[in-house]
Chain A
């Protein structure tokens, strides 16, 4: 192990020139050490009630109904559902008052669906983070003692989430070093990781796979589709989210969630990290936010 916690593969003699092309250390230092943030502006919308003019251009621009403005003027109520958000940034582009900004925060995974919904009513005091209800976290942490065997089920995704879930197994993220692995059968799994809106045609297969998994077990709903139907919400051919079919323990927003956002969600599922998002509020800027700190 190197000082930054990443593993350093040994080079074979004589192959130095060749292996330089691949880079000698590629694995991220998660969970300790600096987070390899994308060097690009974030895509997570954040609403600051004080500056809002209540015009509602943002809600009109949202392609997915994830953002709603009720009432108008400074007295308007603004609701953001991070579960349905596609992180496309159209709402921020449409906002003239500056109340909406895009921030680089993607540790958005939560245990309760309602924690993905931010509601700003006029006159409300600045929202304070509620106390973490961590009984569930503790119980899961004890049960799985830091290891997790996952069965991935694509319940009708566009295959975007599969790119990012698959990336977790590559050298850059190297999931198995964290005691987490993907298994081929639900009989061997502690957890189902489900992507896609759950199409009508996958509903039965998802139910059967869930039933085949020995208890105790958990379910992670991944991506805007897995949480609420994503861009396919309200199609008669989909069920609008995994929790319409099987109970869900952890929700991981994104379209698709990046591998780092997925790692955070898995760490949350194992109870190794605190939930950052409560009632749609998250700590930002990073002064209040220690990245990926362990317990």
Chain B
């Protein structure tokens, strides 16, 4: 791979540089001083609605503040996004959330940029995984990130008359396509395999460019954005209750996680209490969703090794979990059940005894299935050493969820920032070592088993308390409010940040799907593997396109 040349002309400037960061710029003592003074002055305040320290800095201290928080306080960057406040304060506000890792703490850094021609310095030299966040914020808010090596659009494939997340009437794309140069590959026998956006299976759309020598993958480059629906903009102006349905449709195969994360954000923002019964019900739904979801990954991995019988059996178990959700809620994906304040409707008590039996049976059957998988040398041969993501790589990309745990990174929001029913019932996490497909299968199997156990625990915790959310859970506000919700979804850390105006309607919602952090992992995992092992890498990572594109 050749590093991009220093940008003399537009075409080469648009190309991404090699992912090897140059030596980091030293913090100037002035920048460092601003942040340290903020801590000393007490302008850094604990914000209970976010569970984070809140740090507001002048625009010129943005870079310094962010780097200090990550390098000195050791909280990794979890998200970066914009908020158009030109109507109230004449600014475009930049937000960076730093959380994750083994502490329950974190920091929210804010800075206001001028609304006209907003510009700041990119964080990429010290936080390499920030690049997609800054590319999105650049195209959606018109912010220029100086030194950002990759200026290509991320989610918008067409030109827009105005950055779509800025104030004013929603702007329709013009129909003219934005240029998108792929990284060129040269060499005698090197060839390229373009795949997608329409794929061969029943899966989401995206475009992959494989650069291959023989069967060996030299490089993979992704282009996503095909499922971009402008979801974050659609939240704006809605009441929190109905908007929960949009949160369920960010990654629709994890609708409970989306609804709970969004509801937590609203409940923290508005200080709405939740009954223990509602928390236990949510915990039960979250774990049943995890069991169904991860059994799909087990089935997919078995299928892609050619072990069709194992895949069919995993799918039998998966279908049972979806039927359990359907019997509990009337919707197999438990749609329109969780709502700010509790649940929109109670779980069907008649279905509860059956759920206990289902999770117990699933756990038992999974043990049998896993033994059969491991007992099969053909399966083993395909999984061991395939699609390796080392622990160092997982940390360098700030990966989350079972993918990170399979590489030995010990993080799980259920334990690190416990919420709801997990406060009283800690999760037992499983870590892998090698970070290959075999390790990811092992971790996912264990997480299904642990999900079954937790579902059983939460089932017992369902008491006689009311679980149903009040019809109008949103009290009348006198001033604007904001809140952060977090859930360890089946794919990992799912974050929702909300801002409400004084009328109680949503003024900005940002959703950080775990796949937004995890997608770059696939480009690393496949390097040096052969093309036929790509499906195994892909299934074991199971990344959300809709969650990334929104």
A232 near B229 with CB under 8 A, answer yes
Taking a contact as CB atoms closer than 8 A, the residue among A164, A205, A237 that contacts B198 in the complex is A205
A237 near B173 with CB under 8 A, answer yes
User: Chain B contacts of A160 at CB under 8 A?
Assistant: 249, 252-253, 255, 333, 335
B317 near A258 with CB under 8 A, answer no
Q: CA–CA, A201 to B246, complex, Å? A: 20
B327 near A170 with CB under 8 A, answer no
Taking a contact as CB atoms closer than 8 A, the residue among A23, A61, A157, A209 that contacts B546 in the complex is A157
B336 near A88 with CB under 8 A, answer yes
A89 near B336 with CB under 8 A, answer yes
Residue of A nearest to B172 (CB): A236
Give the contacts of A176-206 with B (CB-CB under 8 A): 182, 184-186, 196-197, 199-202, 205
A86 near B245 with CB under 8 A, answer yes
Verify if A33 is at the interface (C-beta below 8 Å from B).
Answer: no
User: Chain A contacts of B328 at CB under 8 A?
Assistant: 40
Give the contacts of B246-280 with A (CB-CB under 8 A): 246, 248-253, 255
A76-84, A135-143, A148-156 - the one binding chain B: A148-156
The digit string for B122-162, where 1 denotes a CB below 8 A from any CB of A, is: 00000000000000000000000000000000000110000
Given known contacts A38-B323, A88-B245, A258-B332, is B157 in contact with A157 (CB within 8 Å)? no
Q: CA–CA, A159 to B248, complex, Å? A: 11
B253 near A18 with CB under 8 A, answer no
Verify if B9 is at the interface (C-beta below 8 Å from A).
Answer: no
Taking a contact as CB atoms closer than 8 A, the residue among A18, A40, A41, A152 that contacts B202 in the complex is A152
Q: How large is the interface on A (under 10, 10 to 19, 20 to 34, 35 or more residues)?
A: 35 or more
Verify if B242 is at the interface (C-beta below 8 Å from A).
Answer: yes
The digit string for B332-352, where 1 denotes a CB below 8 A from any CB of A, is: 110110000000110010110
Given known contacts A160-B249, A162-B202, is B171 in contact with A40 (CB within 8 Å)? no
A156 near B316 with CB under 8 A, answer no
Taking a contact as CB atoms closer than 8 A, the residue among B205, B229, B545 that contacts A197 in the complex is B229
Residue of B nearest to A224 (CB): B249
Taking a contact as CB atoms closer than 8 A, the residue among A40, A93, A197, A232 that contacts B330 in the complex is A40
B249 near A38 with CB under 8 A, answer no
Give the contacts of B180-239 with A (CB-CB under 8 A): 197-198, 200-205, 225-231, 233-234, 238
A22 near B365 with CB under 8 A, answer yes
Verify if B54 is at the interface (C-beta below 8 Å from A).
Answer: no
Given known contacts A40-B351, A171-B315, A199-B229, is B234 in contact with A205 (CB within 8 Å)? no
User: Chain B contacts of A201 at CB under 8 A?
Assistant: 157-158, 225-228
Verify if B312 is at the interface (C-beta below 8 Å from A).
Answer: yes
Taking a contact as CB atoms closer than 8 A, the residue among B203, B249, B316 that contacts A170 in the complex is B316
Taking a contact as CB atoms closer than 8 A, the residue among B201, B316, B318 that contacts A184 in the complex is B201
Q: CA–CA, A26 to B238, complex, Å? A: 43
Pick from A88, A182, A196, A202 the residue with the most CB of B within 10 Å.
A88
Q: CA–CA, A44 to B231, complex, Å? A: 25
A171 near B336 with CB under 8 A, answer no
B201 near A38 with CB under 8 A, answer no
Verify if B170 is at the interface (C-beta below 8 Å from A).
Answer: yes
User: Chain A contacts of B312 at CB under 8 A?
Assistant: 170-171
A235 near B545 with CB under 8 A, answer no
A156 near B229 with CB under 8 A, answer yes
B330 near A18 with CB under 8 A, answer no
B172 near A202 with CB under 8 A, answer no
Verify if B64 is at the interface (C-beta below 8 Å from A).
Answer: no
User: Chain A contacts of B204 at CB under 8 A?
Assistant: 154, 157, 159, 162
User: Chain A contacts of B229 at CB under 8 A?
Assistant: 156, 197, 199, 232, 235, 237-238
Q: CA–CA, A50 to B239, complex, Å? A: 32
Q: CA–CA, A231 to B247, complex, Å? A: 10
Q: CA–CA, A100 to B342, complex, Å? A: 24
B316 near A172 with CB under 8 A, answer yes
User: Chain B contacts of A152 at CB under 8 A?
Assistant: 201-202
Verify if B164 is at the interface (C-beta below 8 Å from A).
Answer: yes
Verify if A220 is at the interface (C-beta below 8 Å from B).
Answer: no
B158 near A200 with CB under 8 A, answer yes
Q: State the Cβ distance, A40 to closest chain B Cβ, in Å.
A: 4
User: Chain A contacts of B170 at CB under 8 A?
Assistant: 235-236
A86 near B336 with CB under 8 A, answer yes
A21 near B368 with CB under 8 A, answer yes
Q: State the Cβ distance, A5 to closest chain B Cβ, in Å.
A: 19
Verify if A273 is at the interface (C-beta below 8 Å from B).
Answer: no
The digit string for B351-387, where 1 denotes a CB below 8 A from any CB of A, is: 1000000000100110010000000000000000000
Give the contacts of A80-124 with B (CB-CB under 8 A): 86-90, 93
Q: CA–CA, A196 to B229, complex, Å? A: 10
User: Chain B contacts of A182 at CB under 8 A?
Assistant: 201-202
Q: State the Cβ distance, B363 to closest chain A Cβ, in Å.
A: 9
Pick from B200, B317, B351 the residue with the most CB of A within 10 Å.
B200
Q: CA–CA, A38 to B204, complex, Å? A: 27
Q: State the Cβ distance, B175 to closest chain A Cβ, in Å.
A: 9
Q: State the Cβ distance, A47 to closest chain B Cβ, in Å.
A: 19
Given known contacts A88-B335, A237-B173, is B228 in contact with A199 (CB within 8 Å)? yes
The digit string for A220-257, where 1 denotes a CB below 8 A from any CB of B, is: 00000000001110011110000000000000000110
Given known contacts A156-B226, A160-B253, A163-B253, is B202 in contact with A232 (CB within 8 Å)? no
A39 near B364 with CB under 8 A, answer no
Verify if A165 is at the interface (C-beta below 8 Å from B).
Answer: yes
B318 near A170 with CB under 8 A, answer yes
B242 near A63 with CB under 8 A, answer yes
Verify if A129 is at the interface (C-beta below 8 Å from B).
Answer: no
Q: CA–CA, A256 to B225, complex, Å? A: 22
B246 near A202 with CB under 8 A, answer no
The digit string for B495-525, where 1 denotes a CB below 8 A from any CB of A, is: 0000000000000000000000000000000
Q: CA–CA, A171 to B319, complex, Å? A: 9
Taking a contact as CB atoms closer than 8 A, the residue among A90, A172, A205 that contacts B197 in the complex is A205
User: Chain A contacts of B313 at CB under 8 A?
Assistant: 22
Taking a contact as CB atoms closer than 8 A, the residue among B157, B233, B245, B250 that contacts A235 in the complex is B233
Q: CA–CA, A41 to B164, complex, Å? A: 41
Q: CA–CA, A78 to B532, complex, Å? A: 55
User: Chain A contacts of B201 at CB under 8 A?
Assistant: 152, 182, 184
Pick from B158, B252, B322, B365 the residue with the most CB of A within 10 Å.
B252
Give the contacts of A38-54 with B (CB-CB under 8 A): 38-43
Verify if B104 is at the interface (C-beta below 8 Å from A).
Answer: no
The digit string for B467-504, where 1 denotes a CB below 8 A from any CB of A, is: 00001000000000000000000000000000000000
Q: CA–CA, A233 to B170, complex, Å? A: 13
Verify if B528 is at the interface (C-beta below 8 Å from A).
Answer: no
The 4 tightest CB contacts between A and B, nearest first, are A160-B252, A158-B252, A63-B242, A21-B365
By a beta-carbon cutoff of 8 Å, the part of chain B in contact with chain A is 157-158, 164, 170-173, 197-198, 200-205, 225-231, 233-234, 238, 242-243, 245-246, 248-253, 255, 296, 312-313, 315-319, 322-323, 326-333, 335-336, 344-345, 348, 350-351, 361, 364-365, 368, 471, 544-546, 549
Cβ contacts A to B, 7 pairs, < 8 Å: A41-B348, A90-B242, A90-B344, A153-B198, A160-B335, A163-B296, A231-B245
Known: A171-B312, A235-B170, A236-B230. 7 other contacts (CB 8 A): A21-B364, A22-B313, A39-B327, A40-B327, A64-B245, A159-B204, A205-B198
By a beta-carbon cutoff of 8 Å, the part of chain A in contact with chain B is 18, 21-23, 26, 38-43, 61, 63-64, 86-90, 93, 152-167, 169-172, 182, 184-186, 196-197, 199-202, 205, 209, 230-232, 235-238, 255-256, 258
